[in-house]
Amino acid sequence: MFDKQGANVTREIEEERIAVRCTRRELQQLDSFVLSGEFSSRSELIRAALRDFLSRRARAALVSPGTLPAEAFVRVPVRLRAEERDLYEAYGELVANGAPLEDILAQWVRRGALEARAQALVEEIRGRVRAETERRHQLQELERSGEDLQKRGLLGP
């Protein structure tokens, strides 16, 4: 296999090659790693980066329902349009190593919850609701107090 720089790299036999387009700045950064001796070529660096990416993704992937007891999961019905179902099923097949639709949806929900700060938002809204409930309670107490004063004749209508 040959790098763009022309270095002959004898590695394990590859079944397919891919081309990666990079900006000049990205290529300079790649070359700095090669020049430092950390990698022997751009291709070796890119393969290492790809292996690292795939490894991290695999570790971050959903735990399959088969590895935890069934009671650890709750089934939730979800209504999807046909094209959405098709998209997520294709994603599961092509990107997530054949993961079933329910695992793909769970992964997207978890990722969305993380990105949307769902827990922080829920706590914030619950705090607001509690504060509003307390204000309503105080207002009701003031109204009762005013009614009591009127009944005693200490306050006019």
pLDDT in tens, 82-126: 998 988 888 888 888 888 898 888 888 887 776 667 667 778 888
Both 51 and 72 in one domain: the answer is: no
Both 30 and 43 in one domain: the answer is: yes
Whether 132 maps to a domain, the answer reads: no
Whether 38 maps to a domain, the answer reads: yes
Whether 134 maps to a domain, the answer reads: no
Predicted confidence at residue 7, as pLDDT, reads 47
Both 70 and 112 in one domain: the answer is: yes
Predicted confidence at residue 1, as pLDDT, reads 41
Q: Give the dihedral sign, CA 97/101/105/110.
A: negative
Cα distances (Å, whole numbers) of residue 90 to 34, 61, 68, 75, 111: 38, 16, 25, 21, 18
Both 71 and 56 in one domain: the answer is: no
Both 75 and 92 in one domain: the answer is: yes
Both 69 and 21 in one domain: the answer is: no
Which token pair is 112?
């969305």
Give the residue from 95, 116, 137 where a domain finishes: 116
Both 16 and 37 in one domain: the answer is: yes
Both 73 and 100 in one domain: the answer is: yes
Whether 5 maps to a domain, the answer reads: yes
Q: Tell me how many domains the chain contains.
A: 2
| Domain extent at residue 13 | 1-60
2 forms bridges with which residues in the sheet? 8
Whether 34 maps to a domain, the answer reads: yes
Going by C-beta distance under 8 Å and a sequence separation of 6 or more, which residues neighbour residue 101?
85, 88, 89, 92
Whether 155 maps to a domain, the answer reads: no
Whether 75 maps to a domain, the answer reads: yes
Q: Does residue 1 contact residue 43 with C-beta atoms inside 8 Å?
A: yes
Predicted confidence at residue 149, as pLDDT, reads 83
Both 38 and 4 in one domain: the answer is: yes
Q: Can you list the residues of the chain whose pLDDT is less than 70? A: 1-14, 58-68, 114-116, 118-119, 156-157
Predicted confidence at residue 14, as pLDDT, reads 59
Predicted confidence at residue 139, as pLDDT, reads 92
Which token pair is 78?
């979800």
Both 41 and 87 in one domain: the answer is: no
Both 4 and 46 in one domain: the answer is: yes
